[in-house]
Structure 1
């Protein structure tokens, strides 16, 4: 029966892992490859076991190949926590006033809305047209009755869509294309009309 020598010097009856201690056995073909001794980590990146000095190319506990193991800290990315709810706050921001716009009204309290519907309309309310937006912009006549939509999905994703508003919609200072969905994230700012601002808040 053939015998093989493991990195700890044991005689093994198995060619890949030591039958006595379980350490991975480097075959002569593998020995012919460039040594990774200088790159051997202090601890195994896979299982965290301390590694012995002296040119061991594999973890003696789990058999991790140090040559192909990811660098420390380069493990799989941790998934971002899922958003449990979204809040939006509508406010008057005089700093958004452009040339030709009237003065922003004073004393308008911010309106905070928790999004609950799959689709929430942003716009000016119209009793005559039976338009009652979930996010009503009452003090800015440059906002369309049907200005934009916020689309909420079961996985916590929130999208913004301008639905052809006459004066457009800006996301974080940039004009967005109409009828194109734009993913939102915590802290985003939506500007519309003369001086209306909608701040987006994610709750985890």
Structure 2
């Protein structure tokens, strides 16, 4: 049968909570940055740790608006066992890695939504940009855009390795151009794609 301690320590953030409180105790705002879980999860883990007598929570003043969490005797035993196993160092490295991952994920997300970054990734890919203009001169281009003539702004952008010809063109279909030839997400509305195809279809790519 699973013990209370075993059940508690299988939950996300529980080990980090005990390590963050440590022998000196800590307030909530000091604990949160050291545990790689949400605000609500930290709060729940404190309540659960208190219910099984691992943590004591006491007001820091007579007003009782701020509180300090300390480890009970049982909590200190748990903390010592964690340190003995090297969990303190491992958890610190884990939290740092999570922070780095979150920061890089946010940076990547911003770049993935940026037309210029997307174009730069495209023109640096041998499998895509370097072969697209060559393919436009023969029948294999049809697998990219059946019946389509490569628009001049896109030809210029690819040959120059710069998105500027697209951004400075008078075309209202920049997102469709990028999506059509560079797999730029998200997919535009189907009606817009069909209208674009109808306006730009040349029957073949031989005239490029």
> Would you say same fold, with TM above 0.5?
no
Question: How does the TM-score come out when normalised to structure 2?
Answer: 0.25
Larger helix share, 1 or 2: 2
Larger strand share, 1 or 2: 1
Question: How does the TM-score come out when normalised to structure 1?
Answer: 0.25
Q: Looking at CA atoms only, which structure, 1 or 2, has the larger radius of gyration? A: 1
